[in-house]
Amino acid sequence: MMNTPYIFNEIYYILQKSSPFELTLEALLALGLICIVFYKRTTKKIRHLAPTAQEDVLAKWAPEPLVADVPDDHPALKTRVVSGPVGKTVTVDGNECINMATHNYLGLAEDDDIKQAAVKSLRKYGVGSCGPRGFYGTVDVHLELEERLAKFMEAEEAVVYSYAFSTIASAIPAYAKRGDLVFVDECANFAIQKGLDASRSKIFYYKHNDMDDLERLLLKQQAEDKRNPAKAKKTRRFLVAEAIYINTGEICPLPRLVELRERYKLRLFLDESVSFGVLGESGRGLIEHFNVDKTQIDLVSAGLEWSAATIGGFCAGSSFIVEHQRLSGLGYCFSASLPPLLAQAAISALDRFEAEPRIFEELRSRCRTVSAKLPTLTHFQSRGDPLSPVKHLYLKSTYDSWTKEKMLLDNIATQCIENGLAVVAAEYLEAMEKNCPRPSIRLTVSRLLTEKDIDDAFRILERVSEKILASAG
């Protein structure tokens, strides 16, 4: 243990060796530290009021509202009520409608065998798991579903999430971090956008399905990397795309994405939420549709809330990629696991996928039929691939504001429901969306729709739009 004289000798030695500048700086730092420690903040002089004056002030005081005033036309105040099952027809606010607003593309939500399997699972496991997967929330049916999904997608492993939105929103930040580069289509869905926000990576948006614009950004980054090769060597690069874009209904050019991925050394994430159970001979999605080498896509994600007609989502890929999400996927680690009855419904949906692959071609046939009829609409222009179950209708006339156009489409959707056709105007968070899409009516196609259903739907849509737009001037 050092004694006091030794310490003073050391201080004296240091002072002798220090330059005048260093001594001045050290003295100023010491003085500043003393001021900070001993400085006594002066408090504002309190003004004492008489008791009667205090009562008068308190009587006039009113707290700010916790929630601001909500306008009378806010969508949340005009909730439509569905009664009964949601199938190819649906009862909305008492009106029985042809359903062209559902993402139940294959019609499995009304399949009796799937319902019975879910009821049987409900009796065995109860309603919910009441815990995340890592904390007593894993039930054997979850493991069976992951095994079945991996087998169906021809991947090494799959991981199941309890909510479709959180699947891709959790998967992206599980890998992409601050300092990484992510190239993404400007029309990517909101879940992808939230995943990008959470990653804190540097984001580059390329024009929708424009591979030349994507390559322009990649070449620009390549030139930047040459100026700082040390940094470039440590920077990871990702490419994120949707197989069928929910915001446009268009298919991404996957072969070109794979080509650019290989050329510029990117990691490719593909969201197959809309295309799962739609494209490909066996319903495996866009990878099967284009016959692309599966190893070229680093991670595939999809929601189970569309063609599979249940809840949740999954990611599939190599064991190395998927296992990482069990530790880093926020939606997996911190959300209650998928209710067992819904996991069983997904397993039963996969049974149908494997036993009756003809249902995929039946759906695509209905999609082509709807696409062929879109040009007959007088007041709309359309967007969406003929094979996509999602089509967007935009007004041919242009309007001054986004809000006015959206209001007209809402009115058309409301009148359609009253006339027996369920459609919806696509909803977006205008202030939060990156490149917020133009307002549109989003039509969806079900395998169970007949030719007569489709003809009736277009007749109602034409009549209602003519009436609404004529009155709007």
Are 302 and 380 within one domain? no
72 phi-psi bin (left φ>0, alpha ψ -120 to 50, beta other): alpha
Are 455 and 306 within one domain? no
What are the residue ranges of helices labelled H in 381-421? 402-418
The position carrying tokens 């996991």 is 343
> What's the pLDDT score for residue 5?
67
The first and second tokens of residue 241, run together, are 């795309």
For residue 270, the cross-strand partners are 241, 300
Question: For position 169, which CATH number holds?
Answer: 3.40.640.10
Query: Domain limits at 415?
Result: 79-103+357-471
Which tens digits make up the pLDDT trace of 377-429?
999 999 999 999 999 999 998 888 888 899 999 999 999 999 999 999 999 98
> What's the pLDDT score for residue 44?
58
Contact (CB, 8 A) for 120 and 331: no
> What's the pLDDT score for residue 468?
93
> What's the pLDDT score for residue 221?
95
Among the listed residues 144, 444, 165, the one whose alpha carbon sits nearest the alpha carbon of residue 305 = 165
Contact (CB, 8 A) for 163 and 335: yes
Contact (CB, 8 A) for 322 and 157: yes
pTM assigned to the model: 0.84
Question: For position 398, which CATH number holds?
Answer: 3.90.1150.10
- Answer with the one of 331, 355, 379 that is the final residue of a domain: 355
Are 332 and 387 within one domain? no
> What's the pLDDT score for residue 53?
82
**pLDDT by residue for the chain (473 residues), tens digit each?**
556 666 667 676 676 767 777 778 878 888 888 888 776 555 556 677 788 888 888 888 888 888 888 877 776 777 888 998 888 999 999 999 999 999 999 999 989 999 999 999 999 999 888 888 888 889 999 999 999 999 999 999 999 999 999 999 999 999 999 999 999 999 999 999 999 999 999 999 999 999 999 999 999 999 999 998 888 888 999 999 999 999 999 999 999 999 999 999 999 999 999 999 999 999 999 999 999 999 999 999 999 999 999 999 999 999 998 999 998 888 998 899 999 999 999 999 999 999 999 999 999 999 999 999 999 999 999 999 999 999 999 999 888 888 889 999 999 999 999 999 999 999 998 888 888 999 999 999 999 999 999 999 999 999 999 999 988 76
Are 206 and 282 within one domain? yes
With a CB cutoff of 8 Å and minimum separation 6, the contacts of 57 are 49
Does 70 reside within a domain? no
Does 310 reside within a domain? yes
Contact (CB, 8 A) for 137 and 130: yes
- Answer with the one of 355, 384, 409 that is the final residue of a domain: 355
Are 341 and 193 within one domain? yes
Which tens digits make up the pLDDT trace of 121-160?
999 999 888 888 888 889 999 999 999 999 999 999 999 9
Contact (CB, 8 A) for 315 and 167: yes
With a CB cutoff of 8 Å and minimum separation 6, the contacts of 59 are none
Residue 221: other Cβ atoms inside 10 A: 17
> What's the pLDDT score for residue 3?
62
With a CB cutoff of 8 Å and minimum separation 6, the contacts of 82 are 90, 91, 92
The first and second tokens of residue 327, run together, are 């530790």
- Helix (H) or strand (E) segment spanning residue 226: helix 211-227
> What's the pLDDT score for residue 43?
54
Rounded distance, CA 190 to CA 429, Å? 9
Q: What is the DSSP string of 338-363?
A: PPHHHHHHHHHHHHHHHH-THHHHHH
Are 99 and 236 within one domain? no
- Classify residue 62 by its DSSP letter: -
Rounded distance, CA 459 to CA 421, Å? 10
- Split into its structural domains, the chain has a count of 2
> What's the pLDDT score for residue 70?
80
> What's the pLDDT score for residue 76?
72
